C-alpha cells in the first residue's frame, strides 16, 4: 500500500501545472461507492426540464477537469442545455488514473466502479429534472472502455454511448490480460462478443446505440479494438457489418448502420493518420476544445459529433431522417472560446490527487498517451512495469483473477 501511495504521488507530480477547469462541482454523498471514485458535475444555469444528461469518462493520466472544456463538452452543455456528470478515478485505485475496465470485479453489474457510476447517475436524477430516456455516456481510452462497460451493465439506463479509442466490453478481466487486449490480440467471433454483453445485465434488450471512434495509427489502443467493438455491437443489434453507409467526415471515414425506420444504431469513425486521443477543433468558429496531450487537431470535433449522434443539438436529430448529419467542416460545435463559470469547487491545484494536463501532444514527447504522464515521463514500457510491480505486491499471496 505504501508503494501504491508513492506511485500515486509521483504521477500527480508529473502532471501539468495548475489550470484545470474550475466550473465543476464536487458531490460527496452519492451512495455506497464501492469503486471508490470521485463525482463531479456541471449544471448549466439554463437547464431545460426535462434535461438530457451526458456522463463523461476521462482517460488514463487525466482528471475530470481535463475532460470538460478541454475537449469541448462544457461549452456544448452551456449552449445546448444538458447536464454533465464526470466520474473521476483516484490514484489509490489505479496509479495511472485509469478506470479499471480490465478487472472483473469493477465491470460487473452492481459491483465496483460500474456501480459507483450508476449511483452517480441516480444522484443526478434525484437532484435534477433528468430525462430518463436521454442519458448518455462517452469517454476516451480507459474512459471509452468504461463507457462500453456502462452500456453493457446497465442498458436500461443509457440511450446511447460513444467510445473514443476504447475497447470492447469484457476484452480483459484481469490486469494480465489487459496488455494483449490493448495491443489488439484478442479476437472473438461476433456472436461470442455479443453474448458477453447479454450476460452482463441478464437482459434481452433493447440495447443502446453506439458511436465508435479510433485513430488509424493509434499506438496505445490498437485500432483492431474498434473492429472488435463493432463486431460485438453489430451482432448485438442484429446488423450486418457489410451493410453500412459510408461517407466522409472531413478527412476521415464515417460508416453508419441503420434500423428499418432509418435511425442510426451504430456508427464508426476511422480517424486518418491519427494516434491516440480525442479530436478537437480549436481553430473552428465557434472553437471546440483545446489542443494538448490526448487532444488532437484533426479537423473535426468529436464532442460535437457525438452530441449530434445523441440527438442533443437543438432542432437537430440523431440521423434518423436518413441524412448524414454534420460533417464538422465548419467546426460549429456550439462552444464559446474561454467560456467558464465560477460555480463549484476550485480544483486546479491538484491537491485532491487529480492530474491535469497541459503541454505538447508531440508523440516523441508523450510516448504513452494512454497510461503515461502528460509530457516527458517514464514511457509506456517503464510505467507499465511499475504498475505491474505495484499490482504484484498487492496480490502477493492471493490468487490473481482469471479471465
Which pairs with CB-CB distance under 8 Å and at least 24 residues apart come from 316-323?
318/160, 318/209, 318/263, 318/264, 319/256, 319/258, 319/263, 319/264, 319/267, 320/258, 320/261, 320/262, 320/263, 320/264, 321/262, 322/258, 322/262
- What is the per-residue pLDDT across 27-49, written as a single tens digit (0 to 9) for each? 999 999 999 999 999 999 999 99
Q: What is the pLDDT of residue 315?
A: 85
The pTM is what?
0.79
Q: 402 lies in a domain?
A: no
Range with the poorest average pLDDT among 180-189, 250-259, 263-272, 361-370? 361-370
* pLDDT tens sequence across 150-164: 999 999 999 999 999
Q: What is the CATH number of the domain that holds 78?
A: 3.40.50.1820
Confidence of residue 13 (pLDDT cuts 50, 70, 90): very low
- Which residue is catalytic, options 61, 141, 201, 335? 141
Other CB atoms within 10 Å distance of the CB of residue 341: 16
pLDDT grade for 347, boundaries at 50, 70 and 90: very low
Whether 70 maps to a domain, the answer reads: yes
pLDDT tens digits, one per residue of 226-240? 999 999 999 999 999
- Determine, yes or no, domain membership for 246: yes
Assess if residue 195 is contained within a domain: yes
* Interaxial angle between packed helices 112-127 and 142-153, expressed in degrees from 0 to 180 and rounded to the nearest 10: 80
- Whether 7 shows a pLDDT value over 60: the answer reads no
C-alpha cell at 109: 453489474
Asked if residue 375 has pLDDT above 70, the reply is: no
Distance CA 366, CA 348 (A): 22
pLDDT at 319: 55
Q: Is the pLDDT of residue 365 over 90?
A: no
**Res. 350 pLDDT band, cuts 50 70 90:** very low
Q: Residue 197 in 3-state DSSP?
A: helix
State yes or no: pLDDT of 401 exceeds 90.
no
Give the chain's mean pLDDT: 81
CA dist 87 and 121 (Å) reads 10
Per-residue pLDDT at 341 exceeds 80: no
Strands of 25-27's sheet, edge to edge? 25-27, 38-42, 83-88, 51-57, 130-140, 160-164, 209-215, 264-271, 252-258, 245-249
Tell me whether residue 114 is in a domain: yes
CA angle 321-163-99, nearest 5°?
A: 150
| pLDDT at residue 83 in the model | 98
Query: From residue 304, how far is each of 71, 109, 312, 356 by CA, in Å?
Result: 10, 30, 9, 23
Q: Which of 335, 287, 367, 337 is nearest to 77 (CA)?
A: 335
Q: Is 295 inside any structural domain?
A: yes
Query: Looking at the domain assignment, is residue 310 inside a domain?
Result: yes
Residue bearing cell 490473481: 400
State the helix-helix crossing angle for 190-201 and 142-153, rounded to 10 degrees: 70
More confident residue, 353 or 142: 142
Query: Is the pLDDT score of 360 beyond 70?
Result: no
- Alpha carbons 385 and 43: distance in angstroms, whole number: 40
Whether 383 is covered by a domain: the verdict is yes
- Answer yes or no: is pLDDT of 366 > 70: no
Helix axes 73-80, 302-310, angle to 10 degrees: 40
Q: How many CB atoms lie within 10 A of CB 19?
A: 14
Residue 55 φ/ψ region, left for φ over 0, alpha for ψ in the -120 to 50 degree band, beta for the rest: beta
Mean pLDDT computed over 107-128: 98
Q: Establish whether 141 is a catalytic residue.
A: yes
| Whether 397 contacts 385, CB under 8 Å | no
Domain range holding 206? 2-395
Residue 138, pLDDT > 60, answer yes
pLDDT of amino acid 316 = 72
What does the block give as the cell for 45?
444555469
Regarding predicted confidence, which is higher, 327 or 22?
A: 22
CA distance 40 to 244: 37
**Distances 212 to 91, 160, 229, 241, 309 between C-alpha atoms, Å:** 28, 11, 8, 14, 11
As for how many domains the chain has, the answer is: 1
More confidently predicted of 186 and 362: 186
DSSP state of 15: S
Average pLDDT over residues 15-28: 62
Amino acid at each position: 500500500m505504501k508503494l501504491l501511495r508513492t506511485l500515486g504521488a509521483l504521477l500527480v507530480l508529473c502532471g501539468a501545472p495548475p489550470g484545470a477547469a474550475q466550473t465543476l462541482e464536487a458531490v460527496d454523498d452519492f451512495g455506497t461507492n464501492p469503486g471508490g471514485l470521485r463525482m463531479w458535475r456541471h449544471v448549466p444555469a439554463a437547464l431545460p426540464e426535462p434535461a438530457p444528461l451526458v456522463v463523461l469518462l476521462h482517460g488514463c493520466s487525466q482528471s475530470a477537469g481535463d475532460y470538460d472544456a478541454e475537449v469541448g463538452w462544457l461549452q456544448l452543455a452551456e449552449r445546448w442545455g444538458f447536464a454533465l456528470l464526470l466520474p473521476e478515478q483516484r490514484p489509490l485505485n489505479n496509479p495511472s488514473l485509469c478506470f479499471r475496465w480490465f478487472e472483473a470485479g469493477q465491470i460487473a453489474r452492481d459491483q465496483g466502479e460500474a456501480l459507483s457510476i450508476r449511483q452517480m447517475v441516480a444522484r443526478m436524477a434525484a437532484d435534477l429534472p433528468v430525462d430518463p430516456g436521454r442519458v448518455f455516456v462517452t469517454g476516451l481510452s480507459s474512459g471509452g472502455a468504461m463507457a462500453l462497460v456502462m452500456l453493457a451493465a446497465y442498458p436500461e439506463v443509457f440511450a446511447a454511448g460513444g467510445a473514443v479509442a476504447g475497447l470492447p466490453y469484457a476484452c480483459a478481466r484481469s490486469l494480465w490480460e489487459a496488455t494483449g487486449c490493448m495491443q489488439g490480440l484478442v479476437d472473438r467471433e461476433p456472436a461470442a462478443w455479443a453474448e458477453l454483453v447479454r450476460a452482463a445485465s441478464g437482459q434481452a434488450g433493447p440495447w443502446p446505440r453506439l458511436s465508435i471512434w479510433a485513430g488509424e495509427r493509434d499506438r496505445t489502443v490498437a485500432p483492431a479494438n474498434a473492429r472488435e467493438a463493432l463486431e460485438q455491437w453489430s451482432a448485438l443489434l442484429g446488423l450486418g457489418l457489410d451493410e453500412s453507409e459510408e461517407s466522409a467526415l472531413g478527412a476521415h471515414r464515417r460508416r453508419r448502420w441503420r434500423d428499418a425506420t432509418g435511425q442510426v444504431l451504430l456508427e464508426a469513425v476511422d480517424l486518418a493518420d491519427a494516434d491516440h486521443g480525442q479530436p478537437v477543433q480549436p481553430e473552428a468558429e465557434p472553437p471546440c476544445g483545446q489542443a494538448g496531450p490526448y487532444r488532437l487537431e484533426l479537423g473535426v470535433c468529436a464532442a460535437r459529433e457525438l452530441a449530434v449522434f445523441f440527438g442533443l443539438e437543438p432542432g437537430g436529430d440523431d440521423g434518423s431522417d436518413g441524412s448524414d448529419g454534420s460533417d464538422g467542416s465548419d467546426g460549429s460545435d456550439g462552444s464559446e472560446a474561454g467560456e467558464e463559470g465560477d460555480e463549484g469547487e476550485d480544483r486546479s491545484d491538484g491537491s485532491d490527487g487529480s492530474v491535469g494536463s497541459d503541454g505538447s501532444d508531440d508523440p516523441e514527447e508523450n510516448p504513452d498517451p494512454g497510461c503515461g504522464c502528460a509530457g516527458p515521463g517514464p514511457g509506456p514500457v517503464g510505467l507499465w512495469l511499475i504498475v505491474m510491480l505495484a499490482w504484484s505486491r498487492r496480490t502477493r499471496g492471493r490468487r490473481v483473477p482469471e479471465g
